[in-house]
Amino acid sequence: MHVRELTILALTALLAIPAGAQNASGNAKDKSDAVAMASATNPRVAAPLPVSATDDPDYVIGPGDMLNISVWKEPDISGTVPVRPDGKVSLPLLSDVQAAGTTPTRLAGSITERLRQYLTDPRVTVIVTAANSRRVYLIGEIVRPGAIPMLPNMTLLQALSTGGGFSQFARIKKMYVLRTDNGKQIKLPVNYKAAISGEAPDQNIALKPGDTIVVP
């Protein structure tokens, strides 16, 4: 087939494509180009929304947590901040704000009230992006010791399930949980075999933030 005939066939196939399809393709490309341009010129367009580290509406904020504090249409006073060891966060305009001991919803309300002296209609949202204050610790004769995030209503057996099992030297009948209560450290003995068998449900202790599970 000659070159001229091939050219004619190619033009005929192009003309056979419906105009709507061509327009749809062109529109899709235009939209894609527009999004790419917006992302390049304004990073906020492409910025992902912060993801909450907890779905518990009654979550109590503690030292070490990371909070995303967003004030609607006020990017200069919005951002992600850590909760300091003294339980406070530092914010523009407001300086120090007590965060530990309250929930994200209540903290948002408190910040809103304090911002009213500077802004006409402040709208504040608070999201816990890292629940670092709610951790329990595994130490001793366990495969993977260390700190683990504490899930709502976590028990001893649930926490141990993340540790990868015990070493051959573990004395699982002599385990215990160290807990600080009212400033004093207490020791809660645990018999793992009794807990795992279900014969002694009280041995499957309900954990609290900061508990340390010791496997001697």
- Residue 29 lies inside a defined structural domain of this protein: yes
Asked whether residue 94 falls in the same domain as residue 145, the answer is no
- Mean pLDDT, the chain cut into blocks of 10 residues (216 residues total): 48 47 45 44 55 81 94 94 95 93 95 94 94 92 92 90 93 94 91 89 92 96
Predicted confidence at residue 5, as pLDDT, reads 53
Do residues 151 and 159 touch, judged by C-beta distance below 8 A? no
For 123, residues 6+ apart whose C-beta sits below 8 A from its C-beta are 71, 72, 112
How buried is residue 168: exposed, middle or buried, by Cβ count under 10 Å (0-12/13-18/19+)? exposed
Predicted confidence at residue 34, as pLDDT, reads 46
- Residue 58 lies inside a defined structural domain of this protein: no
Long-range contacts of 166-169 (CB under 8 A, 24+ apart): 166/141, 166/142, 166/215, 167/141, 167/142, 167/143, 169/141
Predicted confidence at residue 69, as pLDDT, reads 96
* Prediction pTM value: 0.60
Predicted confidence at residue 6, as pLDDT, reads 45
The domain tally of the chain equals 3
Predicted confidence at residue 40, as pLDDT, reads 42
For 166, residues 6+ apart whose C-beta sits below 8 A from its C-beta are 141, 142, 143, 172, 215
How far apart CA 36 and CA 45 sit, in angstroms, is 10
- Residue 50 lies inside a defined structural domain of this protein: no
* DSSP secondary structure code for residue 17 in this structure: S
How far apart CA 139 and CA 141 sit, in angstroms, is 7
Asked whether residue 80 falls in the same domain as residue 100, the answer is yes
How far apart CA 112 and CA 116 sit, in angstroms, is 6
End-to-end CA distance of the chain: 85
CA distances from 215 to 70, 106, 184, 202, 205 (A): 43, 39, 21, 18, 15
Predicted confidence at residue 47, as pLDDT, reads 55
How far apart CA 214 and CA 172 sit, in angstroms, is 10
Structural domain boundaries enclosing 154: 135-215
How far apart CA 143 and CA 197 sit, in angstroms, is 21
CATH code for the domain in which residue 196 is found: 3.10.560.10
CATH code for the domain in which residue 117 is found: 3.30.1950.10
Asked whether residue 119 falls in the same domain as residue 142, the answer is no
- Residue 72 lies inside a defined structural domain of this protein: yes
